[in-house]
A = this chain, B = another copy of it.
Amino acid sequence: MRRQSGPANSDQRTHILDMSAQLFGQRGVDGTSINAIAEHVHLSKATIYHYFVSKEEIYSEIVINTLERLVEVLKAAVSRDDSPDDQLRSYMRAYAQFLDQNFWRFTTVLTGFGGIQRDNQRSRAMLLRRQAREIVRDIIRDGMKAGVFRKADVSTTAIAVLSMLNWMYRWYDRDGRKTPAQFAAEFADLAVQGLMQDGKSRSRK
């Protein structure tokens, strides 16, 4: 089979990635076969193998490409703000919107990197995940240094913020009445006020 080029080819490739992500997200990588993917995209197994050498290649590409775009989106989002509280709000909104717009691909990312066998691909995925995390850690750390945020454990606070966002893949209803930006704004209200220096309530236990 001769490799096609141009948009049709690239569309079909993207379509295979999207449909595979849906199966990975719903059944796990182990629970998804190339046969199931072929059936789901209404293509022959041979056509799938025309684009990808293995299920693992499909999986790695979903994870790495999704994380690459996430990091870009987050960097762009926070670059427009000056104050740490605005940056934290922007980060959270961009993250929630990205999760909404890339729902199955991001679900695949969030269920772990167990399906990536090649060490260099796995390291790349872990590096990108760390970068996404570093952006919010930097915001929190800078906010504390500037005296805008109270002193708290940077790592735990970053985990708290990311937990609110990541857990969305389990409950967020894309047909629900609230947009991801609205949820993100409510979460950010809690996180920002929870961090502000002028808050009066601290641990009393």
Chain A residues in the interface with B (C-beta under 8 A): 27-28, 30-31, 85-86, 89, 112, 150, 152-153, 156-157, 159-160, 162-164, 166-168, 170-171, 178, 183, 185-196, 198-205
Contact = CB atoms under 8 A, between A and B. Distances in A.
Tell me what chain A mostly uses at the interface: helix, strand, loop, or mixed: helix
Given A164-B164, A167-B166, A183-B156, A201 B190 contact: no
Given A28-B30, A167-B167, A171-B159, A191 B189 contact: no
A189 B152 contact: yes
Contact of A190 (B31, B162, B195, B204): B195
Contacts of A186: 152-153, 156-157, 160
Contacts of A193: 150, 193-196, 199-202
Contact of A201 (B30, B192, B203): B192
B189 A190 contact: no
